Structure 1
Amino acid sequence: MAQDHHSSEPARPEPPSPHSNVGSPSTATPPPFLPLHTTVVLLVAAFIGVAMGGLMFLADRSVAKAVFTGLTITGACIVGLRKMIG
């Protein structure tokens, strides 16, 4: 049998693209656990809270005051940063 050299079908099939989501569901990438905005806000707020808690500990040498200050500042920063970065 003679091969037709003018056929539109390639001799070797091309492998599927690694970026295509066609196929089994296991190949599809899952959505992120947290959106980027939420992750940035939480990380910046946690950093500021730890820094303020550390400064409070250096000022008063009280662990309770430092923890309370750090948690309070972290909560306030989450609200402020969410609106500011939003």
Structure 2
Amino acid sequence: MVNSQNPQPLLALRTAIILLLGVLTALGAGVLTVLAGGATFAAAVLFFHTIIA
């Protein structure tokens, strides 16, 4: 039985922030150019991972 009074988060806060910033960066770049979206997301996740670590 799962303890519903103290649920655990699905992601750590640091991980959620890194992924959110990566998605926002990719969306910004995707508006400017369709082809750069996937590469920008990967680069942004690595960049923010390095910065926040």
TM-score by structure 2 length? 0.84
Percent of aligned pairs sharing the same letter: 23
Number of residue pairs the alignment of both structures matches: 53
Gaps of 5+ in 2: none
Partner of 1:70: 37
Which is greater in Rg? 1
Task: Report 1:2-81 matches (<5 A).
Answer: 26-56=3-33, 66=34, 68-81=35-48
RMSD between aligned alpha carbons? Answer: 1.8
Query: Which amino acid in the other structure matches residue 8 of structure 2?
Result: P
The structure, 1 or 2, with the larger RCO (C-alpha pairs under 8 Å, 6+ apart) is 2
Query: Which amino acid in the other structure matches residue 46 of structure 2?
Result: V
Q: Go from structure 1 to structure 2 and tell me whether the alpha carbon gap of 1:26 and 1:81 turns closer, same or farther (over 3 Å shift).
A: same
Relative to its length, the structure with more helix (as a share) is 2
Distance apart, 1:28 and its partner CA: 4.2
TM-score by structure 1 length? 0.55
Gaps of 5+ in 1: 1-24, 57-65
